[in-house]
Structure 1
Amino acid sequence: MDTVKKTFFILLIMILGGAFSVAGKGADSVSCAGQPEMTVKMDLKECVDYAMEHSYKMMIQQLANDDRRLDERDAYLSFLPSISASIGGQASFGRNIDPETNIYTTTTSFSNSYGVSGGMYVFNGFKTVNNYKIAKTARALGYEETQQLKDEIALAVIQAYYNVLYNEKMLALTRSQLEASQANLELVTREYELGRKSLADKSDIEAEVAEYSFNLIRQRNALESSYITLRESMQYPYSEPLAIDTETEDDASLKLIADKESIVSTAKDRLPAARIAEYNIRTAKASFNSAKWSLLPSISLSGGYSTGYNALAGAGSANSPFWTQMKNLQGQYVGLSISIPVFNGLYQQSEIGRKRNAYRKAKWEYESKMLEIESEVTRAIADMEGAAEEWLSAQKRLDAREISHRQSEKRFANGMISAIELQTNTNLLLEAQATLLNALYQYNIKSMVVKYYSGIPYADQLNQE
C-alpha cells in the first residue's frame, strides 16, 4: 500500500511539473502583443533591410529603371543607319511578259527578287542628339527616384519601429504599475481585515487596480496597432510572426552642433529630390531645343541594291543560269532627300511655345524645391534641438517624480495620505516615464533626419551603428 502511494505521489509530481513547464514555455513564447518570443527578434537595421528587399514599390521602380535603360540604348542606336533586307518570289500563269524578250506570251513563269536597302538622317534638327540626352537624363533620374524611394521606405520603417518600441516599453511600465497596485491592494486588504484601513481606502485601491487593468488592455491594443503599421511599412506578411528587439538602451548622446548653412548646401547638392528637380530642367531644355530645331529642313540619305531571277516553265524554255541572271539583273540606287516644313497649321510654333513653358516651369519648380529643402533642413534642426531640450527636461522631471513617488509610498504606508493621492502621484510618475521615452525616441528620429540632410542616407546611418 505504501508503495502504491509513493508511486502515485511521484506520478502526480511529474504530471504537475510537466504542466507547469509547458505553461511556463507558453508564457515565454508569447509576447505582450501576441508575438511569439521564439521568433528571432529584428533590430532596426534588419527591419529596414527587409523592407528594402521586399518592397513592391522598389520592384516597380526597378522595372521602370530597366525601361529607361532600354530607352537610352534605343536612343543611342538611332545614330546608326537603318538597314533592311527583302526577298520575294512570284509564280505567274497565263498571259505574261517574257522577262527575256519583254514580249507578251502565254506561259507559266517563276521569278524571285532579292534586295538590301538602308537609310539615315544626315540632319534632322539635332532631334536624335536631343532624344539621346533626354533618354540619358531619364535614366539618371530613375536612379535618383530609386534612392528617394529607399529613403522614404527607410524613414517610414524607422518611425514605425520606434512607435512599436515606445508601445512595448509603455506596456512594460503599465504592467509594472498594475503589479505594484495589486501588491498595494493585497496590503490594504490585510490592513482592512485587521481594522487599520477603512473600506473607502480598500475601494480606492480596487478602483486603481481596475484603472491600470484597463490601461494595460488599451496599451496592448496600441502595441498591436503599431505592429500592424510596422508590418505595412515593411511589406511583412501577416501569416508570419514579427517581433522587434526591445533590449535597447534608453539613452541618447546629444550632439546639438549643427551647421545649418553647411547642411543646407549639402542637401541642395545631394538630396535625390534636388537632383530630380535638376534633371527635370535638363529634360525640359533638351525638349525645348528639339522643338526649336524642328523648324529647319531635315536631310536624309538612302541607298539600296537589288537583283533577281526569272524562269519560264514548259518544254523548249531556255532559261539563263541562276547566277548569270543574278549578275545581269543587279541594280543599285542612292538617294538624298530634303524635307522642308512650310506650313502645318502652326503646330510647330505651338509646340515650341509649350516646350518653352515646360522649360520655364521646370526652372521655377527647381527654385521652389531649393526653398522647400532649406525650410525642411531648418525645421529638422529645430525639431532635433527641441527634442533634445525636451529629453533633458523630461529626465529632470522623471528624477523628481521618482523621489516624490517613493515618498508618497512611505506616507501611504504610514497612513498619512489616501489611496487617491497615491494613485495621482503614480499616474504622474507614469506620465513622466512616458514623456521621457517619447522625447528620447523623437530625438533619435530627428537626429537621423538631420544626418540625412547632411548627406548620409538612412540605410548608411544604420550600417554605421
Structure 2
Amino acid sequence: MKRFAVLTLSLISFVAFSQKKWSLEECVNYAVENNLQVIQNQYSKKSQDNSLQIAKREYLPSVSGNINNNATFGQGRDIFGNSNRNDNFSNSANVGADILVFNNGRLEKNIRKTEYDVQASQFDLERVKNDISLQIAQQYLSVLLNREITKISESALENADKLYKRAKITTEVGTTPKTVLAEAEAALAREKQNVKTAEINTNRSLFSLAMLLQLSDYKNFDIQDVPLNSVLDAPLYSAENIVNQAYENQPQIKAAETRIKSAEAQTEITKTAFWPTVTANAGIGTSYFNSLVTNYAGVDINGNPIKESGFFKQYKDNFGQQLGLSANIPIFNKGITRLNVEQSKINEEIAKTTLQQQKQEVLQNVQKAQFDAESNYEAYLAAMEAEKSSRLALDFAEKSYEAGRTTIYDLNVARNNYANAQGSVAQAKYNYLFSMKLLNFYAGIPLSL
C-alpha cells in the first residue's frame, strides 16, 4: 500500500510538471540553479573558499609528534676498543611545534590575495548566470514569435479554405472556370504548408529552450503565452546613459578589477622572499634504552656497572624540553626572486589590460544593443506601415474579386503580401523587444516580460 501511494504521488508530480507552463522568470531561475555550467562554477567558488580558509589557518602553529623504535644487532667496539656484542633496543618519543614569527607579512598578504580570488570567482559565477539568462530570454521570445507567426498562418489558411470552398461551388455551377478552382486549391495547399512549417518552427524553438534548461522531458515542456502591447514605445535609453551603469554592475568588469588587486597582492607576496624568515619552535621528548646482551646500561665513574632502569622510569628520568628560534636569511638564489617579482608585475599589467578589454567589450555590447534597439524600432514602424498598406490592398482585391474585376490569382497575391507583412511586423516586434531587454539588462533592470 505504501509503495502504491509513493507511485501515485510520483505520477501526480510528473503530470503536474508536464502540464505546467513556464514563465520567463521561472525558466531563468531554473536555469541558474540547475545548469551544469553554473554548478561547475559554484564548485570553483567553493574551492576558492577552501583556499581562503587554508590561508587563514597558516597563522596557527604546526604541531607534530613522532615515536622511534630501533633495534641494533652485531659486534661493536666500546670506548676502550674492546669488541663485544652490541645488541640493544632503543625507543624515543617527542612532540614539537613550530610557528612563523616573521616574514614581512607574507601570511597576511596571502590572505588578502586569496580574498580577492574568492571575490573574482563569485563574479565569474554571476557572469555565467547572466549569459544563461540572456540565452533563455532570447529563446523564450523566439517561441512567442513562432507562435504568433503560426496564428497568422492559421488565419491565412482559414481565408484560403473559405475561398477554396466558394471556388468549388462556383466552378461546379459553371460560374467560374476550372482554373479558378485549381488556383484556390493550390493556395489552400500552400497555406497548409505554411501552417505546418510555423508549427514545426514553434516546436523547434520549444525544444531549443528545453535544451537550454537541460530538461529531459522536452516533449511535455511548454511556456506561458505572454500578451504584448500591439504598439511599442521608442527606446528611452541611450548608450551614453547606460555604459557607466554597465561598468558598475556587470560582473565581468568587477571580476577584472578584483583580479588586478589579486595580482598586486601576489607581487607583494613575492617580494617577501627578499626578507628573512624567522621561525620559533618548541618541543618535549623522552627516550628508553635496553641492552639485549646484558642488563646493564653501562658503568659509572668508578667502573661499577649501572643497572638498567625500567621503561617508565627511563621515560621519566630522560624527559626533556627544548625551545628554539631560527632565521633563514636569503643571500643569493641566482636572481630568481627578482625575476619572480618582475613576472608578478607583468601579470599586473596583463590584469589591467584584461580590464580594458572587458570594458571595451561591454561598451561595444551596449552600443550594439542601442543600435539594434533603434534599428529594430525603425524596422517595426516600417513593417507596421507595410502591413497597413497590404491590408488596404487586400480589401481592394477582395472587393474587386467580388465584383468580378480581378482574378483569384491577384487576390491570392494580395493575401500573401498581407500575411508576409504581418510576419514582418511580428519579426520586427520581437527583435525590438529582445534588443530592449538587452539594453535594460545592461542598465541593471532584471529580465522580465
Deviates more, 1:443-452 or 1:272-281: 443-452
Aligned to 1:362: 351
Q: How far is the alpha carbon of 1:412 from its aligned partner?
A: 1.7
**1:386 and 2:378 are equivalent in the alignment:** no
Counterparts of 1:453 and 1:272, CA distance in 2: 11
Q: How far is the alpha carbon of 1:285 from its aligned partner?
A: 1.1
Counterpart amino acid of residue 224 in structure 1: N
| Deviations, residues 310-360 of structure 1 (Å, cap 9, x unaligned) | 455699675535554333212333333333333333322332222211111
Aligned to 2:215: 236
Contact persistence 2:103–2:277 (CA under 8 A): yes
| Counterparts of residues 401-420 of structure 1 (less than 5 Å) | 401-420=390-409
Out of 102, 113, 123, the position equivalent to 1:123 is 102
Counterparts of 2:446 and 2:96, CA distance in 1: 53
Counterpart amino acid of residue 213 in structure 1: K
Mind listing any 5+ residue stretches in structure 2 that lack a counterpart? 1-15, 297-306
| Counterparts of residues 129-278 of structure 1 (less than 5 Å) | 129-238=108-217, 241-246=220-225, 248-251=227-230, 254=233, 256-258=235-237, 260-278=239-257
Structure 1 length normalisation: TM-score? 0.82
For 1:163, what is the secondary structure of its paired residue?
A: helix
Contact persistence 1:148–1:273 (CA under 8 A): yes
**1:50 and 2:30 are equivalent in the alignment:** yes
For 2:327, what is the secondary structure of its paired residue?
A: strand
| Deviations, residues 68-114 of structure 1 (Å, cap 9, x unaligned) | 1100100111122211122233455566899xxxx997586554322
Counterparts of 1:255 and 1:332, CA distance in 2: 83
Out of 386, 390, 400, the position equivalent to 1:397 is 386
Aligned to 2:361: 372
| Deviations, residues 110-143 of structure 1 (Å, cap 9, x unaligned) | 5432211122222334432332122111111111
Out of 324, 337, 341, the position equivalent to 2:330 is 341
Counterparts of 2:230 and 2:289, CA distance in 1: 93
Counterpart amino acid of residue 422 in structure 1: L
Aligned to 2:69: 89
Counterparts of 2:194 and 2:43, CA distance in 1: 47
Counterpart amino acid of residue 368 in structure 1: Q
Q: How far is the alpha carbon of 1:224 from its aligned partner?
A: 3.0
Mind listing any 5+ residue stretches in structure 1 that lack a counterpart? 1-35
| Counterparts of residues 300-315 of structure 1 (less than 5 Å) | 300-311=279-290
Counterparts of 1:344 and 1:375, CA distance in 2: 47
Identity %: 24
Aligned to 2:303: none
TM-aligned CA distance change 1:37 to 1:386, over 3 Å: farther
Counterparts of 1:215 and 1:96, CA distance in 2: 104
Contact persistence 2:18–2:221 (CA under 8 A): no
Contact persistence 1:274–1:366 (CA under 8 A): yes
For 2:19, what is the secondary structure of its paired residue?
A: coil
Aligned to 1:27: none
Aligned to 1:74: 54
Counterparts of 1:365 and 1:64, CA distance in 2: 20
Aligned to 1:424: 413
Q: How far is the alpha carbon of 1:438 from its aligned partner?
A: 1.8
Counterpart amino acid of residue 362 in structure 2: I
Contact persistence 2:85–2:293 (CA under 8 A): no
Aligned to 2:304: none
TM-aligned CA distance change 1:112 to 1:255, over 3 Å: farther
Counterparts of 2:203 and 2:77, CA distance in 1: 89
Contact persistence 1:134–1:287 (CA under 8 A): yes
TM-aligned CA distance change 1:457 to 1:314, over 3 Å: farther
Counterpart amino acid of residue 88 in structure 1: N
Contact persistence 1:250–1:437 (CA under 8 A): no
Contact persistence 2:210–2:218 (CA under 8 A): no
TM-aligned CA distance change 1:252 to 1:338, over 3 Å: farther
Aligned to 1:6: none
Q: How far is the alpha carbon of 1:253 from its aligned partner?
A: 5.3
Counterpart amino acid of residue 430 in structure 2: Y
Counterparts of 2:295 and 2:169, CA distance in 1: 132
Q: Provide the aligned length of Structure 1 versus Structure 2.
A: 421
Counterparts of 2:224 and 2:351, CA distance in 1: 45
Structure 2 length normalisation: TM-score? 0.84
TM-aligned CA distance change 1:249 to 1:270, over 3 Å: closer
Counterpart amino acid of residue 248 in structure 2: D
Contact persistence 1:295–1:341 (CA under 8 A): yes
Contact persistence 2:376–2:429 (CA under 8 A): yes
Q: How far is the alpha carbon of 1:235 from its aligned partner?
A: 1.0
